[in-house]
């Protein structure tokens, strides 16, 4: 019997980040789908139910924090790992207050991201990275 791969959704408005993370996570035995915006993810949830979300904070139209607030209402159990190129104490504290599993500043250490995803999928709460 085939083992199902954990499904990871990447939401980032930067196409090169989506492409790079998709390849790296697929190589780590995850099923990956990438979305260019929060709206794209919300529209895709009917056909793709991710087990974990890798979410950029700084996006036009709907920020990562806006998307996280919405997901808390419609899918509160999904683990979310925030990635950002605009790290700040306020963004970090607001992300933690919204219950993210982890908060990682770009550039992302891929091994740290993969470890964070795996811990989130196991139900563990990795410490928010500093």
Q: Are 97 and 122 in contact (CB under 8 A)?
A: no
Residue 114, domain member (yes or no) = no
**Span 53-69, pLDDT tens digits:** 999 999 998 999 999 99
Type and span of the H or E element at 97: helix 89-97
Residue 48: its pLDDT value, please? 93
DSSP 8-state code for residue 114:
H
What number of CA atoms fall less than 13 Å from residue 130's CA on the CB side?
0
CATH code (residue 40): 3.40.50.2300
Q: What is the mean pLDDT of residues 76-104?
A: 93
Look up the domain containing 15 and give its range. 7-109
Residue 119, domain member (yes or no) = no
Q: What is the mean pLDDT of residues 45-59?
A: 95
Question: What is the distance between the alpha carbons of residues 45 and 78, in angstroms, rounded to a whole number?
Answer: 12
Residue 100, domain member (yes or no) = yes
Q: How many domains does the chain contain in total?
A: 1
- pTM tops 0.95, yes or no: no
């Amino acid at each position: 019997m085939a083992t199902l791969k954990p499904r990871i959704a990447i939401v980032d408005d930067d196409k090169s980040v989506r492409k790079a993370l998709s390849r790296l996570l697929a190589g780590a035995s995850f099923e990956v789908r990438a979305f260019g915006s929060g709206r794209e993810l919300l529209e895709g949830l009917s056909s793709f139910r991710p087990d974990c979300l890798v979410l950029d904070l700084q996006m036009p139209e709907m920020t990562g924090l806006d998307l996280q607030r919405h997901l808390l209402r419609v899918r509160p159990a999904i683990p979310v790992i925030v990635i950002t190129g605009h790290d700040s104490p306020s963004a970090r504290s607001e992300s933690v207050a919204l219950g993210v599993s982890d908060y990682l500043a770009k550039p992302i250490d891929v091994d740290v991201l993969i470890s964070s995803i795996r811990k989130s999928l196991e139900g563990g709460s990795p410490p928010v990275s500093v």
